[in-house]
Structure 1
Amino acid sequence: MQTWLKPVVLEGNLVKLAPLETTHVAALLEAASDGNLWELWYTSVPSEETVESYVKTALAEQKNGLALPFVIIDKKSGDVVGTTRYLNVDSKNKRVEIGATWYAKRMQRTGINTECKYMLLKHAFETLNTIAVEFRTHFHNHPSRNAILRLGAKQDGILRNHSIDHNGFLRDTVVFSILNSEWPTVKKSLEFKMEKSYS
């Protein structure tokens, strides 16, 4: 059905992004168990009870042309250490959101988030020719908001009472974006950060 977003492998120095498959269920649960990430009330990290439906939903959205999910593989160990995806795909207007991203606790603050986002942004702007890439996060998820700003994204606004989360709480969603005209500068900044972290 969808031809714009095709499954692809993106490879960096630290991690590889590979298409999500149903065979990744156990590995994703193991990654999420490092830090019991599902306990953070403002995130949507799968637990033992929800991981299978989490993967099925992502793959169903991919089939319908609305998402392209990846597993994040640590190149040093070969382990699956998290997941990320393009979502809310608008192929007509060449827009995507990068989201549903989380990492095993041991991989947080190691530089892999910068590398993952760099690879996804580069593919979006230079291969898919998107006009804008969005990021959305929970109002109360301040680490995520700060990480998005550090990438070079700008805040577009806050969607108040945007959705009802899995606990029944109302969620205010903060929306950020990077435009295609901003990508060259953002790219230079991210490459500079990565070079410093690799050395």
Structure 2
Amino acid sequence: MLDPALLVGDHVRLEPLGPQHAAGLARAAADGEVWRTWTTWIPAPDDLPAEIERRLAAHAAGRVVPWATCLPDGTPVGMTTYWSVDPENRRVEIGATWLAASAQRTKVNPEAKLLQLTRAFDELDCIAVEFRTHWHNRRSRRAIAALGAKQDGVLRNHQVMRDGSLRDTVVFSIVRDEWPAVRSGLRARLAAA
């Protein structure tokens, strides 16, 4: 589960995260100033090297699998991660995902999720994949639901945000029995113009 495999599609490459992605990810975070979003934590451009090191340390500790989300030509446009890796219970969370403004509402995110979900269910034999987001991040909630994930519940006052506010965390999941329909839905979205 912890192998940071290269995942390649037609519209996106999920490359195992490394220091070589820092400059491109800094440009991606600056694109639309997405790092200023208050409902999630996206590293500021200058913080990218430290964030990459943090995620690599968490990977070495067996907790996460981090990727740089790249265009087919290798240009970094964001990050995504298998979070809360739980081999014993065959579960992962797809989280800590963000994209440059120019990559949002394109085929990048749906294909990235298709690649990550395919790996989770078809290669790693996961029984569930979880997604979490801020209650007030309505765009993220809609995007997660559009994948085919179902809302499991809300963890109230779950986290303290950078500004000191309390985050209610909305939890979604896709279970193995739902995966064939979710896969078909993602493939249909990618095939549409």
TM-score per shorter chain, which class?
over 0.9
Matched with 1:91 is: 87
CA contact (8 A) 2:17 2:68 kept: yes
User: What is the CA–CA distance in structure 1 between the aligned matches of 2:103 and 2:45, rounded to whole Å?
Assistant: 20
- Say whether residues 1:53 and 2:50 are aligned partners: yes
> Post-superposition, which runs of at least 4 consecutive aligned residues in structure 1 deviate over 6 A?
none
- Say whether residues 1:131 and 2:127 are aligned partners: yes
Matched with 1:102 is: 98
Structure with the higher helix share, 1 or 2: 2
Report how far residue 49 of structure 1 moved. Answer: 4.1
- Say whether residues 1:33 and 2:20 are aligned partners: no
> What is the aligned counterpart of 1:166 among 142, 162, 167?
162
The Cα offsets for residues 120-169 of structure 1, whole Å up to 9 and x where unpaired, read as: 00000000100100000001100000000000000000000101112221
The amino acid that maps onto 2:30 is S
Provide structure 1 residue ranges, at least 5 long, that are not aligned to the other structure.
none
Name the SS for the 1:123 alignment partner.
helix
The within-5 A match list for 1:72-87 is 72-75=69-72, 77-87=73-83
User: What is the CA–CA distance in structure 1 between the aligned matches of 2:69 and 2:126, rounded to whole Å?
Assistant: 22
User: What is the CA–CA distance in structure 1 between the aligned matches of 2:34 and 2:162, rounded to whole Å?
Assistant: 15
- TM-score (ref. length: structure 1): 0.94
- TM-score (ref. length: structure 2): 0.97
Name the SS for the 2:192 alignment partner.
helix
Matched with 2:148 is: 152
Between the aligned residues of both structures, percent identity stands at 47
User: What is the CA–CA distance in structure 2 between the aligned matches of 1:12 and 1:133, rounded to whole Å?
Assistant: 20
- Cα RMSD (Å) of the superposition? 1.0
> What is the aligned counterpart of 2:67 among 46, 63, 70?
70
User: What is the CA–CA distance in structure 2 between the aligned matches of 1:56 and 1:160, rounded to whole Å?
Assistant: 30
User: What is the CA–CA distance in structure 2 between the aligned matches of 1:118 and 1:85, rounded to whole Å?
Assistant: 14
- Say whether residues 1:13 and 2:31 are aligned partners: no
User: What is the CA–CA distance in structure 1 between the aligned matches of 2:81 and 2:151, rounded to whole Å?
Assistant: 20
User: What is the CA–CA distance in structure 1 between the aligned matches of 2:155 and 2:94, rounded to whole Å?
Assistant: 17
